[in-house]
Amino acid sequence: MKHPALVAFGSVAFVVALAAAPMISTAAPDPTPTPVPMAHPDLSSMSFMMGTWTCTQMLRGKERPDTSTTTMGYDGAWMVTEDTAPPFDAYRTFAVKSTNYMTYDASTKQWIQTGVDNTGGYYTTTSPGWQANTITWTTKGLDGSSATDVTTKVSDTETNDVSTGTDPTGKVTKLAIHCTKSSS
């Protein structure tokens, strides 16, 4: 037979153990999340391009108008340019609309532009950046084409571009584009 004092002590010890059990936990506390910082490229050398620009170029013997509007997009990661070139001759009877995205890739130390248009065209071009008031962009197409675009910043409201493109057959086309900023 068990001693009554031992049974009472065992019962009290059991009750104390049950009461203490919820206070003791082997589970680790939830970790505090570490926020991932949003990296923003330094787009300051291109910020003068923000706003609406009116451009002209000679194409097939006619002056071709063009309007571009550049805004900041994707939480400051890209500058986004919406461009519309209206129909201007018998060869192209519809407006060409395009969207261009530009950013700086610090890992490659290159400016990047990529864009698409409503004719199915697309491109990606790169540049090491400004040399004084000039920036040179180079493109290699998947079809063997290539292009170089040299943009000269005349002022915060005026640029001149000289573009040279070589199609897959080796035919070279040169264009000169003049742009003025019409609004910020």
**How many alpha carbons lie under 13 Å from residue 161 in its C-beta half-sphere?**
18
158 domain residue, yes or no:
yes
Within the chain, which residues score under 50 in pLDDT? Answer: 1, 6-7, 9, 14-16, 18
10 domain residue, yes or no:
no
The pLDDT of residue 91 is: 81
Report residue 16 CA to chain centroid gap.
63
Q: Please say whether the beta carbons of 32 and 44 come within 8 A.
A: no
How many domains does the chain contain in total? 1
Query: Where in the sequence is the domain holding 136, given as residue range(s)?
Result: 44-183
15 domain residue, yes or no:
no
Collapsing DSSP to helix, strand or coil, 61 comes out as: coil
The pLDDT of residue 6 is: 47
The pLDDT of residue 59 is: 79
Q: Please say whether the beta carbons of 67 and 52 come within 8 A.
A: yes
Mean pLDDT, the chain, as a whole number?
Answer: 87
| Cα distance between residue 111 and residue 127, in whole Å | 5
CATH number, residue 71: 2.40.128.20
68 domain residue, yes or no:
yes
| Cα distance between residue 180 and residue 157, in whole Å | 5
Signed CA dihedral, 64, 49, 141, 73: sign only: negative
138 domain residue, yes or no:
yes
37 domain residue, yes or no:
no
Please give the model's pTM, rounded to 2 decimal places. Answer: 0.78
